[in-house]
Amino acid sequence: SGNEIVTDVVVIGGGPVGLFSVFELGLLDLKCHVIDILDRPGGQCAELYPEKPIYDIPGFPVVTGQELTDNLLKQIAPFNAEFHYNRMVNSVEKQADGTFRLVTDADETFIAKVVVIAAGGGSFQPKRPPVEGIEAFEGKSVYYAVRKMDDFRDQDVVIVGGGDSALDWTLNLQPIARSLTLVHRRDAFKAAPASVNRMKELVMEGKINFLLGQVSKLDGENGQINHVHLTMDAGDLSIPATRLLPFFGLTMKLGPVADWGLDLNDNLIVVDTEKFETSVPGIFAIGDINHYPGKLKLILSGFHEAALMAQAAKKIVSPDERVIFQYTTSSTKLQKKLGVA
Ligand code: FAD
């Protein structure tokens, strides 16, 4: 069952690195289909920190996760890649003719000459706190990420955790929330010291509350919480709350990628640094998902990897075509592909 899509390249993962690979592959006339578990592009940038500023993208002194995603989409638009969201690639198999057969959990089949794994942290999922019945509130009043700050405006917000996400959102949501309470089980934080200090100042100024304890129970109905119960050394407490943001970390599960027969190192896919090819020729891995000596999990590293990968992918798809190195600045051929000449 399901339909079969035949293409040059399937890119697994629509994070920043998967998106930029569409550009580099497109300049070399390779047609891409991009598949992602999430319901939209941007990977970690869009899912985990859409409104947080990034300061180390070359040429952008400051850009938020969502702005970077939007700009990448604009940049790759001329290449008309096709996007398939809300599906996970379950299997990748090399066929007798050298092409690859990929199957998604939506039961579609893709046949591709080249596979680019840009799966980042894998199928990442937030850890759910051990609170009975929390599922009923998820996505309505309990969130594991801040997608729109406005969802928290004029709300009684309870943030749980002691890491960077918990502290960052405490600082960022304080100005717009009606009330904000940070809850952590210890008086020690994993977050950046500057954020912890700023949080403590806000407590001193009476602008937020900090409570040492653990969430034990939620009250509410129809998905909307109204009280959060806390277990504390000083005794139990129930506080009014209309939004709960538990930051218990993410499980970076590699997911199905682990079963594709690729050489792995500590759950990352081993690649060379000339082509960023995996142990299976024709399957490349770029961005956070790969491993090589000196690897830095930065977006800019993934962009570089995409450029070199594309050169190697081109040789697989068009073995007889000679690729001439060209600048986008001066090549009318490239500019025609970009629709600017
Ligand atoms: P990801 O962004 O992780 O995207 C991978 C995508 O693949 C995901 O959308 C996932 O759903 C999808 N996927 C995985 N498996 C499958 C499958 N089997 N089928 C279908 N889809 C699949 N980096 C910087 O350079 N500068 C910064 O300032 C910076 N700040 C950060 C701040 C925070 C809070 C976080 C969490 C990260 C930060 N990073 C920063 C790191 C940066 O976000 C990552 O390096 C970058 O997102 C990696 O991009 P990627 O495309 O490789 O993977």
Task: Convert the pLDDT of each residue in 154-205 to its tens digit.
Answer: 999 999 999 888 999 999 999 999 999 999 999 999 888 999 999 999 999 9
List binding-site positions.
36, 44, 49, 89, 124, 288, 329
3-state secondary structure (DSSP) of residue 202: helix
Does one domain contain both 147 and 11?
Answer: no
Most ligand 1 atoms within 8 A of CB, residue of 22, 34, 36, 44 to mutate = 44
Task: Convert the pLDDT of each residue in 105-148 to its tens digit.
Answer: 888 999 999 999 999 988 766 789 999 999 999 989 999 888 77
Does one domain contain both 280 and 244?
Answer: no
d(CA 87, CA 73): 19
d(CA 28, CA 341): 17
- Report yes or no on whether pTM surpasses 0.80: no
**Mean pLDDT over the full length of the chain:** 94
Does one domain contain both 119 and 166?
Answer: no
Of 218, 248, 278, the residue that ends a domain is 248
Task: Convert the pLDDT of each residue in 51-84 to its tens digit.
Answer: 899 999 999 999 999 999 999 999 999 999 999 9
As for how many domains the chain has, the answer is: 2
Which residues form the pocket of ligand 1, taking CB atoms under 6 Å from any ligand atom?
Answer: 12-18, 35-38, 43-45, 48-49, 54, 56, 88-89, 118-123, 255-257, 287-288, 297-300, 302
pLDDT greater at residue 40 or residue 126: 40
Structural domain of residue 225, as residue ranges? 128-248
Q: Which two tokens mark 170?
A: 């405490």
Does one domain contain both 115 and 140?
Answer: no
Integer-rounded Cα Rg, in Å, for the chain is 23
Of 220, 248, 276, the residue that ends a domain is 248
Does one domain contain both 92 and 152?
Answer: no
Task: Name the burial class of residue 87, with classes exposed (0-12), middle (13-18) and buried (19+) by CB atoms within 10 angstroms of its CB.
Answer: middle
